[in-house]
């Protein structure tokens, strides 16, 4: 059961309209690493968590916060679109001058969404549930969460540098801070889980499943690999790293001819 209040978590008011920048902000809403992705990722991870209540509620609370971030960004987009010259949209198709001016604006903001945000990225591509990771393995999922927050924070930082609007920067400053917290919390949770389960996912496999003679060797022809300081020490799981040039462990594969009904190209033997 979710509860919503009318207040935003933080201010979302630009100093001036900017329909072109509104299009860019859409990436933070419906892009692969936007707020829709992290909100759904955390909520579905939480709904699937079994027997780890502290992690379940960490996921659910953070996912709920991310829903609020969607609302803040949607509000920012709507306000950036206030005062946008909507009547010029139809002219853009026939007037090259107007088209050049309006070229950076997303026409769907005016035509389809009534000067509002949409669940799409900055290119107008609809948000896709395939963006999210919810595997049921908390260590694997928390690592995916660090990646999502890292990419999201990177994109906010890039957009921060693309505007001089103090109101927009104010909201972005808050989002950068929350992304810092979320990266920290997932990293801390990962450290706690690794202490119990080990660093390799999944850590519950029977030993006979894995060809362990290949588990800790870096295969490379690059001399630069020797500059990797960690390669000469223990791996995170406690075993020693090794370095070796790549070599075949098998023989050249030979496939049987395809049956006639496949109508494949004839082999060289068949052409003789």
Residue with tokens 């920012």: 76
192 annotated as ligand-binding: no
CA distance 260 to 52: 56
Residue 242, phi then psi, degrees to nearest 5: -130, 160
Query: CB pairs under 8 A, 24+ apart, for 56-64?
Result: 58/185, 58/189, 62/182, 62/185, 63/38, 63/39, 64/2
CA distance 60 to 40: 10
Give the H/E segment covering residue 252.
Answer: none
149 annotated as ligand-binding: yes
Q: Which residues lie below 8 Å from residue 149, measured CB to CB, with a gap of 6+? A: 38, 179, 182, 183, 186
240 annotated as ligand-binding: no
69 annotated as ligand-binding: yes
Please give the structure tokens belonging to residue 52.
């780890």
66 annotated as ligand-binding: yes
165 annotated as ligand-binding: no
Judged on CB neighbours under 10 Å (0-12, 13-18, 19+), 261 is: exposed
**Do residues 115 and 86 lie in contact, with contact meaning Cβ atoms separated by under 8 Å?**
yes
Give the annotated binding-site residues: 35, 61, 66, 69, 149, 182, 222
Give the annotated binding-site residues for Ca(2+): 61, 222
Give the annotated binding-site residues for Mn(2+): 35, 66, 69, 149, 182
């Amino acid at each position: 059961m979710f509860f919503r209040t009318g207040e935003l978590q933080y201010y979302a008011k630009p100093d001036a309209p900017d329909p072109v920048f509104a299009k860019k902000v859409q990436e933070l809403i419906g892009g692969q690493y936007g707020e829709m992705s992290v909100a759904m990722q955390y909520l579905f991870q939480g709904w699937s968590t079994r027997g780890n209540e502290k992690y379940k509620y960490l996921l659910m609370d953070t996912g709920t916060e991310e829903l609020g971030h969607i609302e803040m960004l949607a509000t920012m987009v709507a306000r950036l679109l206030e005062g946008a010259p909507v009547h010029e949209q139809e002219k853009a198709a026939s007037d090259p001058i107007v088209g050049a001016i309006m070229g950076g604006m997303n026409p769907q903001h005016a035509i389809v969404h009534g000067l509002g945000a949409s669940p799409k990225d900055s290119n107008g591509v609809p948000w896709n549930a395939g963006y999210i990771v919810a595997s049921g393995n908390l260590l694997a999922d928390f690592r995916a969460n660090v990646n999502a927050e890292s990419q999201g924070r990177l994109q906010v930082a890039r957009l921060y540098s693309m505007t001089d609007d103090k109101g927009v920067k104010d909201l972005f400053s808050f989002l950068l801070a929350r992304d810092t917290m979320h990266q920290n919390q997932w990293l801390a949770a990962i450290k706690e889980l690794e202490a119990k389960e080990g660093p390799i996912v999944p850590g519950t496999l029977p030993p006979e499943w894995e060809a362990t003679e290949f588990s800790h060797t870096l295969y490379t022809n690059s001399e630069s690999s020797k500059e990797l300081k960690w390669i000469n020490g223990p791996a995170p799981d406690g075993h020693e790293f090794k370095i070796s040039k790549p070599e075949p462990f098998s023989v050249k594969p030979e496939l049987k001819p395809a049956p006639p009904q496949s109508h494949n190209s004839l082999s060289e033997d068949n052409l003789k």
